[in-house]
Amino acid sequence: MERVNTSKRLAHLRDLMKERKLDIYVVPSEDSHQSEYIAPCDARREYISGFSGSAGCAVITLDKAALATDGRYFNQASKQLDDNWTLLKQGLEDVPTWQEWTTEQAEGGKKVGVDPTVITAPEARKLSESLKKKAGSSLIGERENLVDHVWGADRPPRPKEKVMVQPEKYSGNKFQSKLEEVRKELDKKKAAGIIISMLDEVAWLFNLRGSDIPYNPVFFSYAAVTLTTARIYVDSNKLTDEVKDHLGTDVEIRPYDSLLSDLTAMSESAPIAKDANATASAPVLKKKYLISTRASWALGLGLGGEEQVDEIRSPVGDAKAIKNATELQGMRSCHIRDGAALSEYFAWLEETLVQRAETLDEVQAADKLEAIRSKREHFMGLSFDTISSTGPHAAVIHYKPERGNCSTIDPKAIYLCDSGAQYLDGTTDTTRTLHFGNPTGMEVKAYTLVLKGVIALDRAIFPKGTTGFALDSFARQHLWREGLDYRHGTGHGVGSFLNVHEGPIGIGTRSQYSEVQLSAGNVLSDEPGYYEDGNFGIRIENMIMARETSTEHNFGDKPWLCFEHVTMVPMCRKLIDPALLTSEEKTWLNDYHREVWEKISEFFKDDQRTTDWLQRETKEI
Amino acid sequence: MERVNTSKRLAHLRDLMKERKLDIYVVPSEDSHQSEYIAPCDARREYISGFSGSAGCAVITLDKAALATDGRYFNQASKQLDDNWTLLKQGLEDVPTWQEWTTEQAEGGKKVGVDPTVITAPEARKLSESLKKKAGSSLIGERENLVDHVWGADRPPRPKEKVMVQPEKYSGNKFQSKLEEVRKELDKKKAAGIIISMLDEVAWLFNLRGSDIPYNPVFFSYAAVTLTTARIYVDSNKLTDEVKDHLGTDVEIRPYDSLLSDLTAMSESAPIAKDANATASAPVLKKKYLISTRASWALGLGLGGEEQVDEIRSPVGDAKAIKNATELQGMRSCHIRDGAALSEYFAWLEETLVQRAETLDEVQAADKLEAIRSKREHFMGLSFDTISSTGPHAAVIHYKPERGNCSTIDPKAIYLCDSGAQYLDGTTDTTRTLHFGNPTGMEVKAYTLVLKGVIALDRAIFPKGTTGFALDSFARQHLWREGLDYRHGTGHGVGSFLNVHEGPIGIGTRSQYSEVQLSAGNVLSDEPGYYEDGNFGIRIENMIMARETSTEHNFGDKPWLCFEHVTMVPMCRKLIDPALLTSEEKTWLNDYHREVWEKISEFFKDDQRTTDWLQRETKEI
């Protein structure tokens, strides 16, 4: 990993800070849409600090600079940061959060600047209050991004990839119907309109897809919907005639950069709330615009600030998380093709490493997997960087092998592969952990306990109203009994030919997961694990879809839910200790393997290697 | 249940509202300490509305009156409210919350009054914001309570019961050491001091107990602790010489009513925050006082308002929830005596109803239980109203039989008894469901599934960091599989000779339970159930204590926890279907019954009836 000398960049930035009378400048990782993955032009935190990890925040004072990141990146950050920087290891006891560090530095009436387009309104508010209460200082939303200024001509241009239509045979719903649903919500909330800022929400709402951001089929855009109008803010050069026809007269196309100025006009002309009686002491109340709690501070300010907006969990995000029958069918279909690709790959990998005893590194293997996948129907690219990891690397939860500088795969060690793809009809994300030699007793035990967790969550039956927080411990209970655990969530929402991680649902102990109920149509991952630093790692990940089920008693007036698994790849027989499985778990495993065989064996009529492998791995236990 | 004519009271109240230029007046249920149980003098909501349930809020406009309460009380409220009142059934779809109803009524610049001592600061702030944003109206903290004014001479006096010392042999810790811990917290938070407003927190902190509130051994008081001082606000007539000696010179005794005026003085003389640099643009920052998020709005206002206080979850409540070795030992001891009392009662009840075929109503039975309990060592009264319920009444989760107007116990139906007592060395809360005849298949199935839930939570092993929210589904999973569930939490914290319900911990889906980690020393109930309206109800409740345990692998650097059960009363054999139990569950049940026999059989050397009953009920399955 290269280390950048940031002295010049910091000196330039500090000059700009002095010009603008700022004592401190905050550089978050996020883009203006709070995207998980960002385009190169938005990598401001990386540019100013030299640290290239996906998460973190840089804070620069006139004589200090700090970079805060979490446990995944302590190692990488300490390698990449030069001497100008202090690393704030977030989550360690006695290490301040970046907000606390900023507040400490700001004591005594300092001015702290941040680009209000790359920080959410709730985050800005919290920081602003802390600065005010604890340091007597203030947060300034500085419209021009100072890092962009330092970056100058070297800054990559904003992507200008073409936008495509996601046809109804895959989306299952006209965008006009989706707009109707949004408008019902506006009506219910007596709102003037809604501004949509998350890229996947805009893409989903209008049945469009793009390729501006790696792995995420989205495009730079905003949307504004009122009871009578719908606008999409996007560089019109990206729109093909097909897209323009698709949007027709229902949607007005506006330049991407004109959102903020439009917001001010929209706010000023917001309709009067119908129940308000204007009197001298009570001024006329205008209807408010809805924005997501993840919308940028700039967006809230543009609409007239806190008093003029209702910050809510996005109803578009909520609707997107409930897949319709077409999307669910697409998920089933693409997981069969994807499962076939993974099986073909694993059979090839075993033959290459064991029978042919060839040397293969982690990236070469991942490349082969991508080559196999890319032949499958409707393939549109990977859904994230493939985690192809051997031995101790499997214990690094977010491991990414570096091309030309990674390990060769040890056929005598655990191999963990976490990968996924984008297809026109859905998005996949699958993890399998394999062993090509003789696993240790502990590896078998850990794998079997993780598998028991996968099964426990998969078999869960629960009433509507249950949250993912409440189900998380089902996947952990068998590990817990032995004093084992994993330091990540159990499941995340998955898009339909959209982002592989999507909210608001998930299975784990994030506070949001205790607030959002699971619903029929939710698609989630089921991925417990176990990791022994420096030794080995286990993760098994299936995709599961919540659906209504009938129970013996159906107590109460709410529907009862269960999960349907759609991932179709065998578990690793060599790593399963049948003695640790209950009879219910064995039945589940045999049923699962029978289903995998039935659904994917037909792909290998002319491929004896994969057929043999699949037969062996799906045999009844 | 009697119905009060509230016309005159409301007319008087509306006159007072007009005098004070208030359009709306809010009357919450709570006292100034947010107590769960209140003294008669604080039952203002009951006085003004006629509704005597424990939860609800009354809102009175100049021409309307609404009473909001939850599902437990829909029936009772509709019987007790006269025609002046509209019942707002909270939790039903399309029924506004009382805050929403108030906001609707307030549209157009109205003034809404509330006594700021009986609403928490966060609640007042939320209501105030909603009134301002949605109705252009304002919330006024009206110091004098208008209902007290209407009530006049009929209002019962504030209790003046004597306060007693809780000696170290039961509390396990000197109050001076507890004060030291509080001061460490003040130091860590750089706070000027802390104001303690919850009655059980004051009692716990100073090792004192009282009897001002039914079932809760607390007394009306506040405390204020700084780095160098400690004050208790209490009517000094309540303090015996022993109590005064106990407090000595470490604690200053101040009149209960002088808190609010003292707060203003304390706030004005708060020490300067040491890191602040005063400049023209940044005024001197004072250290802030800590108050609980459950402290009253008046308390926050007294300290100078939001800017001058830090609202936090009370560190005293957190410390109180972690019992020391003496308190845990007291819990074990009092549960053995209490378990013996319950067993004696159940044996007597069976003989009375079955062998002697006598008629007995629900209250008569509860009285007998109290009489048996009161003979046990260290008995100090009940810890809550005994739920003694036959047949369909067992399905009413918060059932309270009315003396002289309750059912006779049907020996052919389910009998559910949820009861507890206060002892000098601890507080108990136990539920057992019995059947004296031939239970139906569904009753046996439901009981067994509930028992499986009790066992699943009891046997849980989990890492430190796990919350009660995450464990809740363990107790529900077996019911869920059959499509059954219960509409209440699984567990609540329990005090040590203090309130039978105490925070901040608990097992269930309240949002707080997802924020507070369980710790060794926590004492909780484990009480799943199943209720069939109009038919029968099942609940089994044991008390469990979290403690550290050693696991096979002890992964990570955190302690691993398990539960120890302290309730010593047999399960109902007749209601258990052994075919539904796994071998682990049978082992648990046999171990539990062996422990019960070993610990309580010695109480019955001269009581053949109870010995026989106990022997039969604890026999190996």
Structural tokens at position A444: 């078998």
Cβ–Cβ gap B469/A470 under 8 Å:
yes
pLDDT tens for B173-220 read 999 999 999 999 999 999 999 999 999 999 999 999 999 999 999 999
Structural tokens at position B522: 């926590």
Cβ–Cβ gap B108/A553 under 8 Å:
no
Percent of chain B as helix, strand, coil, to the nearest 5: 40, 20, 40
- The answer to whether B509 faces chain A, any CB pair under 8 Å, is yes
Q: What element of type H or E holds A209?
A: strand A208-209
Chain A nearest-CA distance from B273, in A, is: 9
pLDDT tens for B444-490 read 999 999 999 999 999 999 999 999 999 999 999 999 999 999 999 99
Nearest C-alpha in B relative to A106: B276
| Cβ(A300)–Cβ(A291) below 8 Å | yes
Closest CA to A439 of A469, A471, A415, A409: A415
| Cβ(B257)–Cβ(B235) below 8 Å | no
Question: In this structure, what DSSP letter does residue A70 have?
Answer: -
**Strand order in A502-507's β-sheet?**
A461-463, A560-565, A542-549, A523-526, A491-493, A502-507
Cβ–Cβ gap A282/B134 under 8 Å:
no
ipTM of the complex: 0.91
Alpha-carbon span B206 to B195, nearest angstrom: 14
Alpha-carbon span A583 to A102, nearest angstrom: 56
Chain A nearest-CA distance from B484, in A, is: 5
- pLDDT tops 80 at residue B276: no
| Mean pLDDT, all residues of chain B | 95
State the pLDDT confidence band at A489, using cuts at 50, 70 and 90.
very high
Percent of chain A as helix, strand, coil, to the nearest 5: 40, 20, 40
Q: What element of type H or E holds B122?
A: helix B121-135
Regarding pTM above 0.90, the answer is yes
Cβ–Cβ gap A307/B133 under 8 Å:
yes
Q: For B351-486, where are the alpha helices, taking DSSP H only?
A: 362-374, 441-458, 468-481
Residue B515, sorted as left (phi over 0), alpha (psi -120 to 50) or beta, turns out to be alpha
State the pLDDT confidence band at B274, using cuts at 50, 70 and 90.
low
- The answer to whether A441 faces chain B, any CB pair under 8 Å, is no
Chain A nearest-CA distance from B366, in A, is: 31
A13-17, A445-449, A544-548, B554-558 — which is least confidently predicted?
B554-558
pLDDT tens for B495-541 read 999 999 999 999 999 999 999 999 999 999 999 999 999 999 999 99
Instruction: Please state the rounded mean pLDDT for residues B22-51.
Output: 97
- The answer to whether A440 faces chain B, any CB pair under 8 Å, is no
Alpha-carbon span B295 to B540, nearest angstrom: 34
Instruction: Please state the rounded mean pLDDT for residues A185-189.
Output: 94
Alpha-carbon span B13 to B62, nearest angstrom: 9
What pLDDT is stored for residue A118 in this prediction?
Answer: 97
Which residue among A276, A469, A484 places its CB closest to the CB of B107?
A: A276
Instruction: Please state the rounded mean pLDDT for residues A562-589.
Output: 98
Residue B357, sorted as left (phi over 0), alpha (psi -120 to 50) or beta, turns out to be left
Chain A nearest-CA distance from B530, in A, is: 10
Terminal CA-CA length for chain B:
45
- pLDDT tops 70 at residue B578: yes
pLDDT tens for A358-377 read 999 999 999 999 999 999 99
- The answer to whether B467 faces chain A, any CB pair under 8 Å, is yes
What pLDDT is stored for residue A224 in this prediction?
Answer: 98
pLDDT tens for A292-351 read 999 999 999 999 988 889 999 999 999 999 999 999 999 999 999 999 999 999 999 999
Q: Find tokens 């809404």 and name the residue.
A: B112
Instruction: Please state the rounded mean pLDDT for residues B543-550.
Output: 97
What pLDDT is stored for residue A371 in this prediction?
Answer: 98
Q: Find tokens 């044996």 and name the residue.
A: B347
Considering only CB atoms, which chain A residues are within 8 Å of B468?
none
What pLDDT is stored for residue B280 in this prediction?
Answer: 44
Phi first, then psi: what are they for B463, rounded to 5°? -75, 150
Alpha-carbon span A594 to A263, nearest angstrom: 56
Instruction: Please state the rounded mean pLDDT for residues A211-218.
Output: 96
Nearest C-alpha in B relative to A467: B509
| Cβ(A376)–Cβ(A341) below 8 Å | yes
Considering only CB atoms, which chain A residues are within 8 Å of B585?
none
pLDDT tens for B581-591 read 999 999 999 99
Between A232 and B304, where is the model more confident?
A232
Cβ–Cβ gap A276/B466 under 8 Å:
no
Residues 297-316 of A with CB under 8 A from B: 307
| Mean pLDDT, all residues of chain A | 95
- pLDDT tops 90 at residue B284: no
Chain A nearest-CA distance from B1, in A, is: 29
Closest CA to A211 of A594, A606, A499: A499
Helices A362-374/A325-350 angle, 10° precision: 130
pLDDT tens for B80-131 read 999 999 999 998 888 999 999 999 999 989 999 999 999 999 999 999 999 9
What pLDDT is stored for residue B123 in this prediction?
Answer: 96
- pLDDT tops 90 at residue A121: yes
Cβ–Cβ gap B461/A471 under 8 Å:
no
Residue B380, number of CB atoms within 10 A of its CB: 18
What pLDDT is stored for residue B133 in this prediction?
Answer: 85
Q: Are strands A560-565 and A461-463 parallel, antiparallel or unpaired?
A: antiparallel
Considering only CB atoms, which chain B residues are within 8 Å of A107?
275-277
**Strand order in B387-390's β-sheet?**
B387-390, B414-419, B430-435
Alpha-carbon span A30 to A525, nearest angstrom: 24
- pLDDT tops 90 at residue A2: no
What pLDDT is stored for residue B281 in this prediction?
Answer: 47
Nearest C-alpha in A relative to B130: A307
Phi first, then psi: what are they for A127, rounded to 5°? -65, -45
What pLDDT is stored for residue A521 in this prediction?
Answer: 98
- pLDDT tops 50 at residue A280: no
- pLDDT tops 60 at residue B11: yes
Residues 313-372 of B with CB under 8 A from A: none
Question: B448: Cβ–Cβ under 8 A, 6 or more apart, which residues?
Answer: B575, B576, B577, B580, B581
Considering only CB atoms, which chain B residues are within 8 Å of A470?
469-470, 472-473, 509
Sign of CA dihedral B170, B174, B179, B180: negative
